[in-house]
Amino acid sequence: MTAEEFVRRLDTENQRLLGRLAPDDTLKPEVEGDLTVVNLLKVALKNEIEATEIAGRWLVATDDVEVKLAFARQVGDEAKHYRLIADRLRALGVDLGSFDPLAKGYGPLFTYLDSLKTTVERVAAGQFTREAIAVVKNRQFIEFCERAGDAETATLYRDVIEPDERYHHDLGRRLLLRLASTEDVQEAAARAARKTLELADELQRRVLATAGIHHAPGC
């Protein structure tokens, strides 16, 4: 099929699977302690630092200038999200002095993404799919913040973070339209996207006992 057809199909399939991520189920298993805005923002810090780093690794691993620039843009945005979320936590009275978002190591999604070897798989998994997941989860998080009476955090996500994540998803779409031109490449891209969604789904279902935090709002 053509790249256009492929991207349209992948998008439809992603959206179908994303529809299964039910709001509170999505948030609960990933958080340590009570389900509060503060605890979820700490999970978000881990996501943002992981998203910054994976895009940075991929930026230096490609010779394709358009791909380099897409990952560079993402590195900057994810680092900005980290700083904005940390600022918001401080405003909520949280001392981040000794907080290390990677204290328990990288999560399974980061490890999987880091194992991907081709640009098309990276773009399909890390931008097109992961950022689509981020948009859904952020929307759920905005609703959660509103229910919790935290309009300021909701506004930060609605006005700044979510539009950026949507842009990252669109960067992925544009690159796939150019890169996903053969059947082999399309198969690899679809596999990477599916695995990314599976990992997100698995995290959602996991009962958190010893696993620590993984990935939730914002990436």
Interacting residue ranges for Fe ion, rule: CB under 5 A: 48, 78, 81, 165, 168, 218
Query: Residue holding tokens 């992961």?
Result: 130
How many other CB atoms sit within 10 Å of the CB of residue 187? Answer: 12
Residue with Cβ nearer Fe ion (169 or 195):
169
Nearer to Fe ion, 83 or 147 (CB): 83
Residue nearest to Fe ion (CB): 81
Q: What is the smallest separation between the CB atom of 172 and Fe ion, expressed in angstroms?
A: 10
Cβ at position 62, least distance to Fe ion in Å: 18
Query: For Fe ion, which is the closer residue by CB, 53 or 165?
Result: 165
Which CB sits closer to Fe ion, 85 or 189?
85
Least separation, in Å, of the C-beta of 181 and Fe ion? 25
Pair 82, 52: CB distance under 8 Å:
yes
Closest to 56 measured CA to CA, from 135, 122, 130, 124: 122
113 exposure class (CB count in 10 Å sphere: 0-12, 13-18, 19+): buried
In the bound state with Fe ion, the residue whose beta carbon lies nearer, of 73 and 206, is 73
Name the residue among 62, 43, 52, 178 with its Cα closest to residue 124.
178
d(CA 64, CA 166): 22
Q: Provide, rounded to whole angstroms, the least separation between the CB of residue 60 and Fe ion.
A: 18
Q: To the nearest whole angstrom, how small is the minimum distance from the Cβ of residue 187 to Fe ion?
A: 25
